[in-house]
Structure formats: structure tokens, C-alpha cells
Amino acid sequence: MSCLFCRIIAGEIPSSKVYEDEAVFAFRDINPQAAVHVLVVPKEHIESADAISADNSSRVAAVFEAIPKVAAICRLTNGYRVITNVGEDGCQSVKHIHFHVLGGEKLPENMGN
């Protein structure tokens, strides 16, 4: 298995787990970009948001059902940001769809640069 996040989900690579259910795994980003920075991923591999289809969108829905739970666990009571990077121009470095949940402080207004 070559995908980094598939290996983290399988427990082959250690991570700081925040939340897990049958379809979703959430863990702290190794290089946090905010006071709280969690990655929320479907356990079944999807390459990116550009690969979402009717066949796999229920796995993405499960991620979005998990995000409020992650936010509650991390006490993000004052709001947070959810980001997914896609492909080269989106600066996606890991090719397993993941949603960055950022918060725990006031985030910059500017998202694009």
C-alpha cells in the first residue's frame, strides 16, 4: 500500500487520532497551520474532490457528518474553516482526499494567497 493516508488509517504509520468511525478517520496534521489543524478523511481511498462521483459521494458525506463531531471534540465553538486542496494548482500534496479543519483562533480572511 503506497498511499500515505491509507497507511495512517491502517495504523502502519502512527498518527494523533482525534476521531474514528466505520467510514472516517480524523487525525492531527503533522505541520499545523492553525492552533487546531485536523485532517478528516474517508477510510476508502478517493484521490481528490475531483474524483467524487455518485459511486463514492456517500463516503464524502460521511466525512461531512464527522466534521461537526471533530469540531466538538476540538472545542471549536467559535467557528472553523474546512479546506480541501485539489491537484497541482490547488497544491494537493497527498493524493487521498482530505479535509483540513482549521480553527482554535481567528483565521486570516484571505484564503487564496
CA dihedral 38, 43, 48, 49 (to 10 degrees): -80
Instruction: From the list Zn ion, ligand 5GP, none, pick the one residue 56 interacts with, judged by a Cβ distance below 5 to 8 Å according to partner type.
Output: none
Instruction: From the list Zn ion, ligand 5GP, none, pick the one residue 93 interacts with, judged by a Cβ distance below 5 to 8 Å according to partner type.
Output: ligand 5GP
| 63 neighbors 99 (Cβ within 8 angstroms) | yes
Q: Which of 3, 82, 94, 107 binds ligand 5GP (CB under 6 A)?
A: 94
Instruction: From the list ligand 5GP, Zn ion, none, pick the one residue 31 interacts with, judged by a Cβ distance below 5 to 8 Å according to partner type.
Output: ligand 5GP
Residues that are catalytic: 98
Which residues of the shown chain bind Zn ion in the complex (CB under 5 A)?
3, 5-6, 45, 96
